[in-house]
Amino acid sequence: AQSVAQPEDQVNVAEGNPLTVKCTYSVSGNPYLFWYVQYPNRGLQFLLKYITGDNLVKGSYGFEAEFNKSQTSFHLKKPSALVSDSALYFCAVRAPASGGSYIPTFGRGTSLIVHP
Amino acid sequence: DTAVSQTPKYLVTQMGNDKSIKCEQNLGHDTMYWYKQDSKKFLKIMFSYNNKELIINETVPNRFSPKSPDKAHLNLHINSLELGDSAVYFCASSQDGTAGYYGYTFGSGTRLTVV
């Protein structure tokens, strides 16, 4: 079975500081990994994904994420946080095409609060 | 143009009623989904349709019935609504059949409140 954990319910960071939102996963085989962002009263928006290749992937709004196979992690990062980054962030994992569930499993979300 | 649109945005109804939520996507995607987000923001897949054919049906009460008249539409009908059905329901679509490579495009959600 595939699973994903976001160990922090909430992350607080000051504007201009770097931010990290943590995600660890469990899946058979090489994972497909995703980050989504949900602003209040909105649907989730795709931020970035890792399928294969360079472990550091860049996405929308200046976000990036680093795939670490040995630590089974896919942490979301941004060098300089903005107040407008405040939102709910979801990590998702899917098994590769060779097996497992084709439907991504979502984490429980991490609320990012950026203080002015 | 909204890529994935859901109506209504808010729905307040009494227990025992029957209601429908509509979803339309103009992205040309083959696969559409319904997700339920509970009060703790946990997202759970309910159904998935690929080109009008049901491919995923998770453990959902049979009071919930999806209908896909064509690949651009996936509606959700709920019979005999219960208090526990209160949640935000998200429609999503994906370019590939498994949302594995391209990810999802989500609608803005329907907040269902059963009183």
Write down the H helix ranges in A31-115.
none
Q: What is the pLDDT of residue B1?
A: 64
Matching residue, tokens 């009263």: A41
Q: What is the pLDDT of residue A76?
A: 98
**Would you say residue A116 has pLDDT above 80?**
yes
How many helices (H) does chain A have, and how many strands (E)? 0, 12
Give the closest-approach CA distance of B26 to chain A in angstroms.
Answer: 16
Burial letters A47-74, b for 16+ CB under 10 A, else e: bbbbbeeeeebebeeebbbbbeeeebbb
Residues of B with Cβ-Cβ distance to A34 under 8 angstroms = 103
CB contact under 8 Å between B103 and A41, yes or no, is no
Q: Where are the beta strands (DSSP E) in A18-86?
A: 19-21, 24-26, 32-38, 44-50, 56-58, 64-68, 73-78
CB contact under 8 Å between A41 and B42, yes or no, is no
Matching residue, tokens 């959700």: B76
Q: What is the pLDDT of residue B92?
A: 93
The pair of structure tokens assigned to A24 is: 């660890």
* Chain A residue with the nearest C-alpha to that of B5: A43
User: CA-CA distance, A8 to B50, in Å (whole number)?
Assistant: 35
For chain A, what is the mean pLDDT?
91
Task: Report pLDDT digits (tens) over B79-115.
Answer: 999 999 999 999 999 887 665 677 889 999 999 999 9
Confidence of residue B22 (pLDDT cuts 50, 70, 90): very high
User: CA-CA distance, A47 to A56, in Å (whole number)?
Assistant: 14
Q: What is the pLDDT of residue B98?
A: 61
User: CA-CA distance, A106 to A25, in Å (whole number)?
Assistant: 10
Residue A51 contacts B, CB cutoff 8 Å: yes
- Collect all residues with Cβ–Cβ distance below 8 Å to A65 and sequence separation of at least 6: A33, A35, A48, A50, A56, A57, A59, A74, A75, A76, A77
User: CA-CA distance, B15 to A42, in Å (whole number)?
Assistant: 26
Task: Report pLDDT digits (tens) over A35-78.
Answer: 999 998 888 999 999 988 899 999 999 999 999 999 999 999 99
- Please name which of B35, B5, B65, B51 lies closest in space to residue A104, comparing C-alpha atoms: B35
Task: Report pLDDT digits (tens) over B34-71.
Answer: 999 999 889 998 988 888 788 777 778 999 999 999 98
Residues of A with Cβ-Cβ distance to B108 under 8 angstroms = 41-43
Q: What is the pLDDT of residue B99?
A: 58
Task: Report pLDDT digits (tens) over A86-112.
Answer: 999 999 998 776 544 567 889 999 999
Q: What is the pLDDT of residue A99?
A: 47
Residues of B with Cβ-Cβ distance to A32 under 8 angstroms = 100-101
